[in-house]
Amino acid sequence: MNITIIETPSQDSLAPISNTVKIGDFPVAGLPLKEALHLRISQKMGVNPNAEIEVRDDFWPSDTLLETMIKAGENVRVMSENSEVLLSYSKGNRSANWKGISPDAASVLIRHPWDLLKINETLIAEIREDFIEGEIKSGANIEGHIRLGKGSVLLPGTYIEGNAIIGTNCKIGPNCYIRGNTSVGDGCHIGQAVEIKNSVIMEKVGIGHLSYIGDSIICRRTNLGAGTITANLRHDGKNQKSFIGNDLVDTGRRKLGVIIGEDVHTGIHTSIYPGRKIWPGMSTRPGEIVSKDIVPS
């Protein structure tokens, strides 16, 4: 079976991630998206050695969609609303008839940063066993499954509830609370009394003590000052909305925190409204309240 991952151009709607990270290189469950996609398809569709598969790196097919393609009696293309080919599956004879189908509701066409959170959630929730190369100190507790990279340490009082992935050479704790479906990249420091829930933390991120990060994406080399707090829930319980350009978009998510680009610094006691975004290289002052996206002037 031959699988080709097609790289798609960066999109403004994915900012502030797309300013510095290609879609296929974004980490989901500890792997670049393109590698996770290749692995997923090879595991789910690797039944025909003559098959040829092409898939765009901004499309994440559901298990149900892949099963439908396998069972089809002809070659299949998954088509977008704009008649673009998102995924094609040839059973070995590309000159044979092709059937066009639409993606199902469970598949993800990546158009916004929170779409990547959804894929990360799906993959981490599927972890069924531990893989531990780092050190777990006495007094650290884990309920769920964890992948802990070489050189990483969980200090006393750290409590991991649900599945989580922690990369290499990380220092977690003491007294941290890491909740389910969280992925932490290599070389991160998560300090005293930090809580992280359902988030993607990329490489070399520092999160100062007494901070809360929920349903968020934090890109590389960002440092969050002590007491940085992200809100992720509206008082009225409605879906979070976020600006894409000048348009306020319904994210479809009841809970969504902050999307932070690379090399950002927050001052101590920064408070961030739900669904806000901070562009690469930006900073906040101590005690600042982030009620709008922070973009370069």
Average pLDDT, the chain: 95
Query: How would residue 147 be classed by pLDDT, with cut points 50, 70 and 90?
Result: very high
What string of DSSP letters covers 239-277?
A: PPEEEETTEEEE-S-SB---EE-TT-EE-TT-EE-TT-E
Using only the alpha carbons of the chain, give its radius of gyration: 20
Residue 66 is predicted with a pLDDT of 94
Residue 208 is predicted with a pLDDT of 86
Predicted model pTM? 0.95
Residue 58 is predicted with a pLDDT of 97
Task: Report how far residue 180's alpha carbon sits from residue 280's, in angstroms, rounded to the nearest whole number.
Answer: 27
| Residues contacting residue 245 through CB under 8 Å, at least 6 positions apart | 12, 13
Is the pLDDT score of 170 beyond 80? Answer: yes
Residue 160 is predicted with a pLDDT of 98
Q: In which domain, by residue range, is 242 found? A: 131-290
Residue 205 is predicted with a pLDDT of 98
**Domain co-membership, 170 together with 198:** yes
Q: Which residues are catalytic?
A: 209
**Domain co-membership, 65 together with 13:** yes
**Domain co-membership, 155 together with 76:** no
For the domain that residue 139 is a member of, what is the CATH number?
2.160.10.10
**Domain co-membership, 180 together with 278:** yes
Indicate whether 117 belongs to any domain: no
Is the pLDDT score of 130 beyond 90? Answer: yes
Average pLDDT (203-213) is: 96
Indicate whether 121 belongs to any domain: no
Is the pLDDT score of 243 beyond 90? Answer: yes
**Domain co-membership, 7 together with 94:** yes
For the domain that residue 6 is a member of, what is the CATH number?
3.90.550.10
Average pLDDT (74-93) is: 92
Contact 117, 215 (CB under 8 A): yes
Residue of 259, 256, 253 lying closest to 108 (CA atoms) = 253
Residue 203 is predicted with a pLDDT of 98
Residue 73 is predicted with a pLDDT of 79
Query: Residue 248, exposed/middle/buried by CB under 10 A (0-12, 13-18, 19+)?
Result: exposed
DSSP conformational letter for 225: P
